[in-house]
């Protein structure tokens, strides 16, 4: 399998296995990390601040708080808006576990909403049905990189006095009616896990226009201490206060250096993802084997994932056929409300989200990442189009 990605093919090789996603790290990224290693600050310092400012500017948000993962950013978001015991937060069932778990960390109750069959985005009509007097917030997930129906969700949230949170771990760089993801919800959360749009190794960021939530998150990521080490040093203070315990969710400057360097390449990465997505869309236009999810023309998609529905109950066979050919297909995701923890602790059950339960049997994520060559895409297309039961 040829790879036209010179950047990191020497550093690491998957051999003949084509993964569903993979970071692109080049010499600039490596130099940026090395520069921090030679500097006085290894953990949260000037590079974290620079990364925060650059990301806030890119996504059209006033404040940004970098943390150790997307999951930590979701937890900061839930804590900032005051989720606690007795509170319900509506989340889509087709998402990564962390979206729902972040509500549990705060003692709240995730309430699972169904998804739209063509896009797997949260279904606003089901959100509306699942609102109760205890509902405090909605977490919209931009599944696969496509922004949700923010106009509709905003209207529902306003009418019921709810906070709208965006889990944009798939959609950094995407936009909806020309507005960037990061400016569409009350709080937006990003992940910099290597398989996401940009890599920091591990890392996440929360963006918001709400100064109090941003301030809370800065405290929450650092044990709940109101004055951090750098501030104390700058102001000649030794005294610190902890109004409530927080966590160690800090991002290091080492990770921030990689994330910041990668952010400069976001447009280039997105362009490559869009090219692969267009190649697939054209190839599967009349396919009897798979049907791609729909991408709306009101959205600029970030294409974190390329998800297709396998026709006529063929998913398991297609999955194994592609894996046997060295193609790293995956399933995103098994509905979260069917996880044993949620069944046991929150009484969720099959039937709660019928659309998600049905589509989850057919979907398959096929490889898409910036370092993928046209030949790689063609290998995937040929393997799928030649598949027969
Ligand atoms: C990756 C992901 C997360 C968690 O991000 P981490 O950085 O891995 O903690 C949360 N939600 C969604 C939808 C994700 O894809």
Q: Which of 121, 143, 166, 193 to mutate to test the pocket of ligand 1 (most atoms within 8 A of CB)?
A: 193
Q: What is the pLDDT of residue 388?
A: 85
Residues with CB under 6 A from ligand 1: 69-71, 95-96, 98-99, 141, 167, 169-170, 191, 193, 204
Q: What is the pLDDT of residue 237?
A: 76
Taking the centre of ligand 1 as the mean of its atom positions, its distance from the CA of residue 169, in whole angstroms, is 5
Active site amino acids = 196
For ligand 1, what atom is nearest to the CA of residue 304?
15
CB-count burial class (<10 Å; 0-12, 13-18, 19+) for 319 = middle
For ligand 1, what atom is nearest to the CA of residue 71?
9
Closest by alpha carbon to 155, among 134, 140, 170, 167?
140
- Tokens standing for 321? 């056929």
Q: Residue 282: enclosing H or E segment and its boundaries?
A: helix 266-283
Q: What is the pLDDT of residue 238?
A: 78
CB-count burial class (<10 Å; 0-12, 13-18, 19+) for 116 = buried
Q: What is the pLDDT of residue 14?
A: 55
For ligand 1, what atom is nearest to the CA of residue 195?
1
The SS3 assignment for 258 reads helix
Do 353 and 337 meet the contact criterion of CB atoms below 8 Å apart? yes
Do 296 and 148 meet the contact criterion of CB atoms below 8 Å apart? no
Q: What is the pLDDT of residue 10?
A: 37
Residue nearest atom 7 of ligand 1, based on CA coordinates: 70
> Interhelix angle for 374-385 vs 315-324, to 10°?
130
Taking the centre of ligand 1 as the mean of its atom positions, its distance from the CA of residue 189, in whole angstroms, is 9
Q: What is the pLDDT of residue 234?
A: 76
Residue nearest atom 6 of ligand 1, based on CA coordinates: 70
Q: What is the pLDDT of residue 12?
A: 39
Q: Which of 191, 302, 330 to mutate to test the pocket of ligand 1 (most atoms within 8 A of CB)?
A: 191
Q: Which of 66, 68, 70, 105 to mutate to test the pocket of ligand 1 (most atoms within 8 A of CB)?
A: 70
Residue nearest atom 15 of ligand 1, based on CA coordinates: 169
From the first residue on, what is the mean pLDDT of each consecutive set of 10 residues in the chain (389 residues)? 41 70 97 97 96 98 98 98 98 98 98 98 98 98 98 98 98 98 98 98 98 97 84 77 94 98 98 98 95 96 98 94 95 97 98 97 97 95 91
The SS3 assignment for 165 reads strand
């Amino acid at each position: 399998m040829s790879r036209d990605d010179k950047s990191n093919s020497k550093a690491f090789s998957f051999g003949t296995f084509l993964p569903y996603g993979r970071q692109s790290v080049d010499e600039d990224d490596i130099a940026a990390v090395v520069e921090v290693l030679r500097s006085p600050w290894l953990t949260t310092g000037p590079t974290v601040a620079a990364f925060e400012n650059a990301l806030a500017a890119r996504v059209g948000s006033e404040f940004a708080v970098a943390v150790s993962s997307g999951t930590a950013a979701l937890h900061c978001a839930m804590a900032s808006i005051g989720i606690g015991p007795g509170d319900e937060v509506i989340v889509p069932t087709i998402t990564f576990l962390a979206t729902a778990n972040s509500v549990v960390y705060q003692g709240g109750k995730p309430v699972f909403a169904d998804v739209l069959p063509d896009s797997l985005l949260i279904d606003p009509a089901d959100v509306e049905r699942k609102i109760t007097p205890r509902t405090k917030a909605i977490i919209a997930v931009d599944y696969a990189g496509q922004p949700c129906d923010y106009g509709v969700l905003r209207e529902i949230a306003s009418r019921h006095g709810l906070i709208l949170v965006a889990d944009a771990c798939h959609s950094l760089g995407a936009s909806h009616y020309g507005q960037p993801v990061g400016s569409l919800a009350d709080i937006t959360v990003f992940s910099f896990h290597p398989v996401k749009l940009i890599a920091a190794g591990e890392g996440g960021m929360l963006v918001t226009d709400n100064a109090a939530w941003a301030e809370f998150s800065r405290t929450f990521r650092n044990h709940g201490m109101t004055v951090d080490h750098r501030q104390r040093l700058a102001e000649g203070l030794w005294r610190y206060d902890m109004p409530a315990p927080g966590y160690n969710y800090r991002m290091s400057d080492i990770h921030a250096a990689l994330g910041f360097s990668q952010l400069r390449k976001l447009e280039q990465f997105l362009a490559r993802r869009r090219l692969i997505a267009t190649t697939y869309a054209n190839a599967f236009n009349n396919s009897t084997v798979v049907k791609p999810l729909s991408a709306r023309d009101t959205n600029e998609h970030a294409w974190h994932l390329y998800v297709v529905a396998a026709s006529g109950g063929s998913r398991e066979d297609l999955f194994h056929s592609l894996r046997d050919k060295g193609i790293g297909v995956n399933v995103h995701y098994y509905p979260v409300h069917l996880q044993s923890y949620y069944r046991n602790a929150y009484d969720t059950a099959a039937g709660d989200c019928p659309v998600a339960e049905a589509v989850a049997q057919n979907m398959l994520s096929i490889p898409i990442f910036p370092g993928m060559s046209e030949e790689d895409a063609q290998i995937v297309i040929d393997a799928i189009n030649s598949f027969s039961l």
